[in-house]
Amino acid sequence: MPVACRMCGGPAVLKRPKTGDAVCKDCFFYAFENEVNYTITNGNLFKRGDRVAVGASGGKDSTVLAYILKLLNERHDYGIELILLSVDEGITGYRDDSLETVKRNQHQYDLPLKIVSYEDLYGWTMDAIVKQIGLKNNCTFCGVFRRQALDRGAMLLKANKIATGHNADDIAETVLMNVLRGDIARLRRCTAITTGAEGGLPRCKPLKYTYEKEIVMYAYFKKLDYFSTECIYSPNAYRGHARTYLKDLERIRPSSIIDLIHSGESLSIKKDVKMPVQGTCTRCGYISSNAICKACTLLEGLNKGLPKLAIGKSNKSRRLLDAASQSSDSTNEKTSPKEKKKDVTF
């Protein structure tokens, strides 16, 4: 016997995890779109005249993000300009396929597209990095580089804001990860809907309260074109553990996801806890809590053949860096055949 839609009584197609309500297709679209609109207006994410670079990977979240931002911009007259921004990390068989999807999105949504690559920015593709460092800690490199790449790309586009497709599940996973690792600094920052306003470009997450399940269902019912494969280097990522746990939690009590985000937002930290101070990197000018930002340190490690640099405790990496610079000062440093030096300036 078909279940009736909570809102209009028609035949229901989806049980919303957020509310437990059964809704029909059109009411689902209505609720989904209105909730994102509410998140945007309530959080003051955009103002008229903003030029927004939309992080687009061709995956489900960014495709839905691009689609819905365009729709809401027209429907509610935000008055913003949207441009698709894609990062090519150089992962054969994964990224090159998903970039084809973004190129299709460009035509389907009639939005301009810019692609920036790790190869151009840093002189290293992820494939080359993984060859050097092995299959552990890949995501550390990729994530750090991608953040900078997005900023770089957005600046090239003369955008004043970046929007990413992070969804509720992602943020809940991040909260879990930071709790498990005891990373109080990140824990405090990770639930903010807009971040980075005091350094690079502000970046916001309009889908912050949107469940991954609903994003997939929205894309399915609207027949949106997206690319869906796991990054070939991701199986060893720490986030995988948090995700498995979260999915099990969601099955038992679907509101867990939004509750986790709420807990993260409600956290307050005692005054006497030491927090890192945000400054700027002395090498490239990017925002950083240390003298040299993570990206520069990682690159240094890759170029000097010290791939473990910046992985793990920071004092250790500083010692390694000092030792490396001391040995290069005392002998004239020979350029290793693998070295591809690229200066990252901002």
Partner 1 sequence: GGAELLFDKVKEHEVKLSHDNNPWTIRKLLVWIKENLLKERPELFVQEDTVRPGILILVNDADWELVGELEYEIQNKDRIVFISTLHGG
**Nearer of residues 139 and 296 to partner 1, judged by Cβ:** 139
> Binding site annotation covers 170?
yes
Residue 236 is classified by DSSP as G
CA distance 203 to 85: 13
How many CA atoms lie within 13 Å of 3's alpha carbon, on the beta-carbon side? Answer: 14
Run of H or E including 249 = helix 239-252
- CA torsion, points 46, 47, 49, 52, in degrees to nearest 10? -10
**Nearer of residues 2 and 279 to partner 1, judged by Cβ:** 2
> Binding site annotation covers 21?
no
Interface contacts to partner 1, rule CB under 8 A: 2-3, 11-15, 22, 57, 59-62, 165-167, 170, 212-213, 215-217, 220-221, 228-231, 234, 243-244, 247-248, 250-251
> Binding site annotation covers 159?
no
> Binding site annotation covers 3?
no
Tokens of 30: 């209505």
> Binding site annotation covers 62?
no
Query: In the complex, what is the shortest distance from the CB of residue 250 to partner 1, in angstroms, rounded to a whole number?
Result: 7
CA distance 59 to 54: 13
> Binding site annotation covers 273?
no
Query: In the complex, what is the shortest distance from the CB of residue 94 to partner 1, in angstroms, rounded to a whole number?
Result: 9
Query: In the complex, what is the shortest distance from the CB of residue 128 to partner 1, in angstroms, rounded to a whole number?
Result: 20
- CA torsion, points 215, 216, 220, 224, in degrees to nearest 10? 70
**Nearer of residues 3 and 267 to partner 1, judged by Cβ:** 3
223, 62 Cβ separation under 8 angstroms: no
Query: In the block, which residue shows the tokens 């340190």?
Result: 297
Query: In the complex, what is the shortest distance from the CB of residue 24 to partner 1, in angstroms, rounded to a whole number?
Result: 9
Q: How far is CA 123 from the centre of its chain?
A: 22
**Nearer of residues 248 and 322 to partner 1, judged by Cβ:** 248
Query: In the complex, what is the shortest distance from the CB of residue 3 to partner 1, in angstroms, rounded to a whole number?
Result: 5
| Residues that constitute the known binding site | 55-57, 61, 87, 165, 170
Residues belonging to the binding site for ATP are 55-57, 61, 87, 165, 170
